[in-house]
Amino acid sequence: MKTMQKSVYSIVLSDDVVAQIDRLAYRRNTNRSNMINQILAEYVSYVTPEKRMQDTFRRMETILQAADTFQVLMQPTESTLTLRSAIAYKYNPSVRYAVELYRTPGEEIGELRVSLRSQNSSLLLYLTQFFRLWIKIESAYLPHTGYHAEDGRLTRILRPTAAAKTAETEGLSSETLGELLSAYIALFDASLKCFFYHLDAPAAAAAEIERMYRTYLTEHEIVL
């Protein structure tokens, strides 16, 4: 995908107009230049990377909030959506999911970061065990998926599967991409909850999670 070039232009604007743009930029957690760029792009019907990301995130919010499992947190940047979900464990700790989309996607379109802040060593140990189990199961079906896991954190690279090679990654609509991301996060979260529900029966948990993963693969022609 070709990188969209940016240049510096000198334009004269009304102070009142700039004030309104600045207010809008503040509400959307962006800066003045980017806000003007988005406004002009919308006027000429051009979809910017920022617009694509925001449309994707809005679709995700609609889907995941309807499930009544996730809480959408304040968006830290325009390229990242952050969610929170509680685990049925002591004190109901929350797992945080952060989806970052790359501005110019190629083979890799972004990454998912899963984290849990806790001083409870047992909880962190269980979480690490789940990460290892998840990587083992998923790698058996998607051997080219990239991971990095340590200290209660997991990072997973998001890229189209072999089954999706017939379609260009950038050809996926924002709505479709939002649905694909939502489906994967919902599966991951359900699997995590299943693992903690069956802490006294790890073999049963592993079997159920693998069953859930196989079902997910059969129900989705494209996975990330």
Question: Above 70 in pLDDT, residue 206?
Answer: yes
The 3-state DSSP composition of the chain as helix, strand, coil percent (nearest 5) reads 50, 15, 35
Q: How confident is the model at residue 2 (pLDDT cuts 50, 70, 90)?
A: very low
pLDDT of amino acid 219: 94
Q: How confident is the model at residue 167 (pLDDT cuts 50, 70, 90)?
A: very low
Q: Is 91 exposed, middle or buried (0-12, 13-18, 19+ CB in 10 A)?
A: exposed
Looking at the DSSP bridge assignments, the partners of residue 110 are 101, 158
Tell me which residue has tokens 């919902």.
186
In the predicted model, what is the mean pLDDT of residues 144-168?
Answer: 76
Question: Above 80 in pLDDT, residue 162?
Answer: no
Dihedral pair phi/psi, residue 178, rounded to 5°: -60, -40
In the chain, the percentage of residues whose pLDDT exceeds 70 is: 92
pLDDT of amino acid 163: 47
Sequence-distant (6+) residues with CB within 8 A of 141 are 213, 214, 217
211/40: higher pLDDT = 211
Kindly report the average pLDDT of the chain as a whole number: 87
Element spanning 163, H or E: none
Number of Cβ within a 10 Å radius of residue 15:
7
pTM over 0.85: no
pLDDT of amino acid 171: 63
Summarize pLDDT for 91-146 with one digit per residue, the tens.
889 999 999 999 877 788 999 999 998 889 999 999 999 999 999 999 999 877 78
How far, in Å, CA of 75 to CA of 29, rounded?
8
